[in-house]
Structure 1
């Protein structure tokens, strides 16, 4: 198998050799692994040394980031090993970064260029999914505004839970509900969970939001239970991230919350999202094991799209996995998606865990998944997410 291209390459350069000259394109930055270099400024016929850099130092990063020409010349003083950081690698990382980080970096580069007397950074210096220039500014301002407003949303009753039914694909019964967070912003209207949940995870507010969602779901469970008088009690799935499950005392908090509202632990399903890298894997494993011991189910959400799906399955005692909609939506048109679903179902059978398929939009998909052995499904084919009042008004008993 060929080596993975990380965008980082090692170069060994002899002594007294130019690395780059003033006016060259800024297509890379360098970290000195061993050896040393001198930084030279001035006209080509009268270069003067302005700095000497040794192992551990970085140079060339400003021209790389703002796409301007080099403003200095760098030459090795001794045999030197450099780690080269290519533009494509940095562009990829920056394009995935938060708009606030992109915008702040733009400002820093512009201020550096203006105070150093070098040419100004171009408007399109930093790559972004948004259009360059003012659109990045707008995205940054929106992010900062949402962050401020999100801290007020919990106290201002702006958050709500919408419930989407979970259907037993083998007999068509409603067996549970996924509690999905919604934010009714006073001026922006309904803010997408994809926008504010990611923001909450990055800023640490996710713990408070998760606690609010768990408490509201526990409060609502008796009404959901009352609608199933002749069936087994429905379960409620609540989304929590791995960092939340690392919180000390999280299992005790969950247990106490459910006890307060007379909701049995067996009626709770935790859906663990794999949207962030886990720094304390053992703490998550311990929390999942404790929740399972108390009777709760724990599902690996969006299986196959996150950071560590197979590693999670190997180390954590999940009761089910959720097959992501990205595969379900294309299972009839993409053989790859079909085989991925088929493999996930076979894997779940061998591990002895249940499967849930999300994003089911039509009867054909529901029937195909049922025939393949998938246990539970959800999607607009069955019902869209809706507030509990609307769910009850539409006849929650139609299961």
Structure 2
């Protein structure tokens, strides 16, 4: 075919194919009426364009679907990264972001935020007594209740463990304290776990933010107020005050110093006699640890023992007390004519009772020092054995088999009942001093103490009363049938040299031949 008679449809075909190659899939050629071979090719190219267009549309839909899935997965991952897996609350990362946003808004002139930090009181007991599954259910219920007392704009977060936070953007002092009181109110209601009821009360620290604060500073201040609340008692709300930071710094400094106190020989032991009430014979001594601080002087155990537990050095402290006091007993037995039933009474913490090598450690010390096991009594608090864990029970049973006496300390302040104590390998119960403070001032208190003594004796246990401070108290306990006790009426706790001098000269405390004799002038 000559150039001047070339079919124009061929040029259209070429142009259509070029457009298809460029991705213009909507390109079409209208067939002619000739219906010849060229039209057949045109139809084929049009069909190919339609198929390519359909394939591309399907591909676009799959890409859009995949993109949407990836976007949702990313959002889900971001949500997971910003939320607590157990409770669904915001986590620490999300809380810090929210605090920074609230502080940023305050810097632009809005009301600064308030931050509440909550720590559940005695939550560890829930885990220990009922298991971690029950503990998780309690945390979930706490989260739900805290959500019920806040506004939609507020943020409730779980920072970990049993610690929660509530951020109140643009909040006044009245708003913050109202939310804190409401939180205590809803947490004060018992939580039902199947057939059991537990409580999840909290200590709350409140910090009213300022526009020039950082998020870390606001969190630290709220945390400082919360710890001040915990030190004061349960279900307490404390509003942050700058003086609290000074107290926290002192506590942090003391914690650092306590870590080195054992190796620096700053700890000392005092010994308080335990006396037979009928005769004033010294039955033994209780070991009491003191911290002889180079600058602060003699620090009592109530100040540093909780700190030792908090920072994780209570195990080392317990081992030092046990070893040092047993070495002291060995020296006294060598130098003085002690009675065969003279007993050294040493306190053991809940942490120490869980150590698998506790019994072997005590057995080795007794063997090396040639001390009869009957001369040692370990004193443990009720809370240390409330769960009757396997390791704790193993330690108690093994100590009993070794011949070491076991005494429950501070009876009347914890969880135990007499029927509960009968199931444990204990032989003695030390009744807490709080029961004697109102012995002669509160109606019915003497009868109440008498009933407790009768229950203890009916359970086959020996009762030892602590905190005897007057001749009248000593006489009343003796008349009730109590065999032994200790307190300032008989003797204050003494350093080792003074206790040794006492044991060297007498087996009896000179507070009168009879229990109603003259009260010693130097008993305190």
Shift of 1:362: 1.4
Would the alpha carbon gap of residues 370 and 133 (structure 1) be closer, same or farther in structure 2, given more than 3 Å must change? same
Would the alpha carbon gap of residues 123 and 28 (structure 1) be closer, same or farther in structure 2, given more than 3 Å must change? closer
Q: Residue 352 in 1 paired to residue 460 in 2?
A: yes
Q: CA RMSD in A?
A: 4.2
Q: Residue 191 in 1 paired to residue 299 in 2?
A: yes
| Equivalence for 1:171 | 279
Q: Residue 382 in 1 paired to residue 487 in 2?
A: no
The Cα offsets for residues 312-361 of structure 1, whole Å up to 9 and x where unpaired, read as 51431211000111112221112354344222211111111111111111
| Equivalence for 2:427 | 319
Does structure 1 conserve the Cα–Cα contact (< 8 Å) formed by 2:115 and 2:222? Answer: no
Does structure 1 conserve the Cα–Cα contact (< 8 Å) formed by 2:184 and 2:202? Answer: no
| Equivalence for 1:61 | 166
Would the alpha carbon gap of residues 59 and 390 (structure 1) be closer, same or farther in structure 2, given more than 3 Å must change? closer
| Equivalence for 1:296 | 404
| Equivalence for 1:94 | 203
| Equivalence for 2:183 | 85
Shift of 1:179: 0.6
- Within 1, Cα distance between the matches of 2:455 and 2:417? 12
Would the alpha carbon gap of residues 218 and 334 (structure 1) be closer, same or farther in structure 2, given more than 3 Å must change? same
> Which structure 2 residues correspond to residues 137-216 of structure 1 after superposition, within 5 A?
137-216=245-324
Considering only CA atoms, is the larger Rg found in Structure 1 or Structure 2?
2
> Which structure 2 residues correspond to residues 361-372 of structure 1 after superposition, within 5 A?
361-372=469-480
- Within 1, Cα distance between the matches of 2:325 and 2:300? 20
Unaligned runs of 5+ in 1: 1-21, 42-49, 72-83, 96-101
Answer with 237-246 or 331-340: which moved more: 331-340
| Equivalence for 1:218 | 326
Would the alpha carbon gap of residues 388 and 284 (structure 1) be closer, same or farther in structure 2, given more than 3 Å must change? same
Instruction: Count residues with an aligned counterpart.
Output: 339
| Equivalence for 1:269 | 377
| Equivalence for 1:6 | none
> Which structure 2 residues correspond to residues 231-270 of structure 1 after superposition, within 5 A?
231-270=339-378
| Equivalence for 2:389 | 281
Shift of 1:378: 0.5
What TM-score do the two structures reach when normalised by structure 2?
0.56
| 2:414 aligned counterpart, secondary structure | coil
| 2:498 aligned counterpart, secondary structure | helix
Would the alpha carbon gap of residues 93 and 171 (structure 1) be closer, same or farther in structure 2, given more than 3 Å must change? same
Shift of 1:132: 4.8
Shift of 1:273: 2.0
> Which structure 2 residues correspond to residues 66-77 of structure 1 after superposition, within 5 A?
68=173
Would the alpha carbon gap of residues 336 and 155 (structure 1) be closer, same or farther in structure 2, given more than 3 Å must change? farther
| 1:94 aligned counterpart, secondary structure | strand
Shift of 1:138: 2.1
Does structure 2 conserve the Cα–Cα contact (< 8 Å) formed by 1:163 and 1:385? Answer: yes
Does structure 1 conserve the Cα–Cα contact (< 8 Å) formed by 2:291 and 2:299? Answer: yes
More helix by share: 2
Shift of 1:131: 8.7
- Within 1, Cα distance between the matches of 2:172 and 2:276? 55
Unaligned runs of 5+ in 2: 1-109, 119-141, 158-162, 177-181, 189-199, 233-237, 509-524
Q: Which structure is higher in RCO with an 8 Å CA cutoff and minimum separation 6?
A: 1
Shift of 1:85: 3.5
Shift of 1:176: 0.4
- Within 2, Cα distance between the matches of 1:396 and 1:329? 33
Does structure 2 conserve the Cα–Cα contact (< 8 Å) formed by 1:242 and 1:278? Answer: no
What TM-score do the two structures reach when normalised by structure 1?
0.72
| 1:61 aligned counterpart, secondary structure | strand
